[in-house]
């Protein structure tokens, strides 16, 4: 009897047992399964997930799924239960401490932008299972390199991602980007099968299983694999959690980014902001504010435009540029118009004073950087002497954009969180206004200006084809 026929027989037996199992406490059953298997954690995960699928077969799709505090099943989407049981969906930043070489970590981060389902943690976990991070490994059936892709798969998805003049599975970037493209392509085919009712299961596990046995075999099985067939998806998912973290990675210079990220491939944020969209948003902008300067500055703040799902990332782009539009007259102005207040931004209490002059620290750039202490702090963070040379914010496009990203990613202003955190955690666009200029505009102080910011934000979310969300004012 073949493996597939054996699996089909096992599946029929599981279906017959399903009705009796539905009325039992799933956590009790799961614990018995884990205890019985003992030294085989991947097998345990497989059985737990299979159990979850059985128990949820007749659940109400669309309602939350999981286990309540008493250990009882809350019916709903099986994928949610699987993610809960297996320790998460791999979302978040890559845990750099778990990846020995930073070159590999950067390649994983950049390649993970190919699609929303495939995160850095997913790629890293699969690499651990496939090669143990050995970029020189030669495996069975002609598989080579860190991702161990079959030759025909690498031939289809491999490119010269490290721009060294050759396409090779033994090149780290080429291999990892091909791995991500293959998984993303598979996920689309798997989703089509699932949407058509031909297979059942959560999308990530199904995609990993399709990677292991092929789409045709997955369709014949009908979805979630039985332990009798293999535990590959669960082996990957069992180590995924260690590669996912909520701690942002250390900033990297543009020179440390992989070539694919710095040229033709997606940069932080640029995956959801094309040059054509930027032109549409700011058709009459000053020559200082170039798209090239914007994308170069983005590489120094990899958390920008890369946090959360696709909608969240697009909303952050729109929120940032919406506030920029209000601060700079839709990028028409490179410095504060009202020169009568230029002398108001020198805080003499600072030990370093105002070496560039009393009036030298007025608003400049996309977000109108002001005050001597902000020029000092931004310059220190960026490695640029802005305290003594503040005019760089209005003469160097990349520096101008960097100061805006510095404030957006690190400063709280009159708020309690950075603008980046406000828009990516669901606090809303209104909280980004509070962080940037809340003392002068929020709580009714400048309602007209608040509405202008909201108007720009709505305009830009329209360009990016994403809903603006709620909590728009402060």
- Tokens 């109108």 identify what position? 368
What is the DSSP annotation of 316-360? HHHHHHHHHHHHHTTTT-SB-S-GGGGGGG--TTSTT--TT-TTT
Say what the pLDDT of residue 386 is. Answer: 97
pLDDT at 117 over 90: no
pLDDT, tens digit, for every residue of 394-433?
A: 999 999 999 999 999 999 888 889 999 999 999 999 999 9
pLDDT, tens digit, for every residue of 68-100?
A: 333 333 334 444 444 544 556 678 889 888 998
Taking residues 376-404, report their average pLDDT: 95
Q: How far apart are CA 397 and CA 282, in angstroms?
A: 15
Say what the pLDDT of residue 163 is. Answer: 82
Say what the pLDDT of residue 21 is. Answer: 35
Structure token pair of residue 232: 């590959």
Count of residues making up the chain = 474
Say what the pLDDT of residue 116 is. Answer: 77
Task: Report the predicted TM-score, pTM, of the whole model to 2 decimal places.
Answer: 0.48
Q: Which residues contact 175 (CB under 8 A, 6 or more apart)?
A: 135, 144, 145, 146, 147, 149, 154, 158, 169
In this predicted model, which residue has the larger pLDDT, 67 or 379? 379
Say what the pLDDT of residue 149 is. Answer: 94
pLDDT, tens digit, for every residue of 298-349?
A: 888 888 998 888 899 999 999 999 999 999 999 999 999 999 999 999 999 9
pLDDT, tens digit, for every residue of 241-294?
A: 899 887 777 665 444 444 444 433 334 444 468 888 999 999 999 999 999 899
Kind of pairing, strands 66-67 and 73-74?
Answer: antiparallel
pLDDT, tens digit, for every residue of 191-237?
A: 999 888 898 888 888 899 899 888 898 888 876 655 445 578 888 98
Q: How far apart are CA 113 and CA 327, in angstroms?
A: 30
Q: How far apart are CA 297 and CA 116, in angstroms?
A: 23
Structure token pair of residue 421: 């955190």
Contact of 260 with 109, CB cutoff 8 Å: no
The residue from 296, 327, 335, 431 that is catalytic is: 327
Q: How far apart are CA 379 and CA 358, in angstroms?
A: 18
Q: How far apart are CA 219 and CA 227, in angstroms?
A: 17
Contact of 403 with 389, CB cutoff 8 Å: no
DSSP 3-state of 229: coil
* Radius of gyration over every alpha carbon of the chain, rounded to an integer in angstroms: 26
CA distances from 194 to 79, 197, 198, 209 (A): 12, 5, 6, 13
Of 26-40, 118-132, 183-197, give the lowest mean pLDDT range. 26-40
With b for 16 or more beta-carbon neighbours within 10 A and e for fewer, the 232-245 pattern comes to bbbbbbbbbbebbb
pLDDT, tens digit, for every residue of 165-183?
A: 889 999 999 999 999 999 9
Active site residue 144: no
Q: Integer distance in angstroms from the first to the last C-alpha of the chain?
A: 67
Taking residues 437-442, report their average pLDDT: 92
Q: How far apart are CA 240 and CA 249, in angstroms?
A: 17
Burial of 449 (0-12, 13-18, 19+ CB in 10 A): middle
93-245 maps to which CATH number? 1.10.530.10
pLDDT, tens digit, for every residue of 9-26?
A: 444 343 333 333 333 334
E-strand stretches of 171-325: 244-245
User: Could you tell me where in the chain the CATH 1.10.530.10 domains are found?
Assistant: 93-245
pLDDT, tens digit, for every residue of 32-71?
A: 333 333 334 444 444 444 444 443 333 333 333 333 333 3
Helix (H) or strand (E) holding 30: helix 26-37
Contact of 182 with 149, CB cutoff 8 Å: yes
């Amino acid at each position: 009897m073949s493996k597939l026929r054996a699996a089909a027989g096992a599946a029929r037996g599981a279906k017959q047992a399903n009705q009796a199992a539905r009325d039992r406490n799933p956590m009790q059953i799961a614990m018995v399964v884990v205890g019985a298997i003992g030294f085989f954690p991947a097998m345990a995960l497989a059985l737990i997930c299979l159990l979850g699928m059985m128990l949820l077969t007749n659940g109400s799709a669309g309602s939350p799924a999981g286990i309540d505090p008493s250990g009882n099943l809350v019916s709903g989407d099986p994928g949610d239960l699987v993610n809960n049981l297996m320790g998460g969906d791999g979302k978040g930043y890559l845990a750099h401490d778990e990846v020995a070489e930073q070159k590999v970590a950067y390649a994983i981060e950049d390649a993970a932008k190919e699609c929303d389902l495939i995160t850095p943690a997913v790629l890293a976990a699969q690499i651990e299972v496939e090669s143990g991070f050995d970029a020189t490994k030669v495996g069975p059936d002609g598989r080579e390199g860190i991702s161990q892709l079959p030759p025909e798969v690498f031939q289809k998805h491999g490119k010269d991602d490290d721009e060294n003049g050759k396409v090779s599975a033994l090149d780290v970037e080429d291999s990892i980007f091909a791995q991500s493209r293959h998984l993303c392509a598979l996920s689309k085919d798997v989703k089509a099968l699932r949407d058509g009712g031909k297979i059942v299961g959560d999308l990530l596990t199904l995609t990993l299983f399709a990677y292991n046995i092929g789409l045709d075999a997955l369709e014949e099985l009908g979805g979630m694999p039985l332990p009798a067939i293999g535990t590959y998806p669960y082996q990957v998912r069992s180590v995924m959690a260690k590669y996912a973290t909520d701690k942002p990675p250390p900033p990297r210079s543009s020179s440390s980014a992989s070539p694919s990220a710095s040229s033709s491939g997606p940069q932080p944020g640029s995956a959801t902001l094309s040059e054509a969209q930027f032109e549409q948003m700011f058709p009459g902008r000053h020559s200082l504010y170039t798209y090239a300067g914007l994308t170069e500055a983005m590489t120094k703040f990899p958390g920008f435009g890369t946090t959360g799902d696709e909608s969240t990332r697009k909303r952050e782009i729109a929120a940032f540029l919406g506030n920029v539009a209000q601060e700079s007259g839709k990028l028409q102005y490179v410095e504060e118009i009202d020169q009568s207040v230029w002398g108001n931004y020198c805080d003499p209490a600072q030990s370093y004073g105002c070496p560039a002059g009393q009036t030298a620290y007025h608003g400049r750039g996309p977000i109108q950087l002001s005050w001597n202490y902000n020029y000092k702090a931004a310059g220190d963070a960026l490695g640029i002497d802005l305290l003594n040379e503040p005019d760089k914010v209005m003469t160097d496009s990349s520096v101008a954009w960097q100061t805006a990203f510095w404030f957006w990613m690190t400063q709280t202003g009159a708020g309690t969180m950075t603008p980046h955190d406000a828009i990516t955690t669901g606090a809303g666009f209104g909280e980004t206004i509070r962080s940037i200029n809340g003392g002068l505009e929020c709580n009714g102080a400048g309602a007209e200006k608040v509405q202008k910011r909201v108007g720009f934000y709505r305009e830009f979310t329209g360009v990016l084809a994403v809903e603006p969300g709620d909590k728009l004012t402060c």
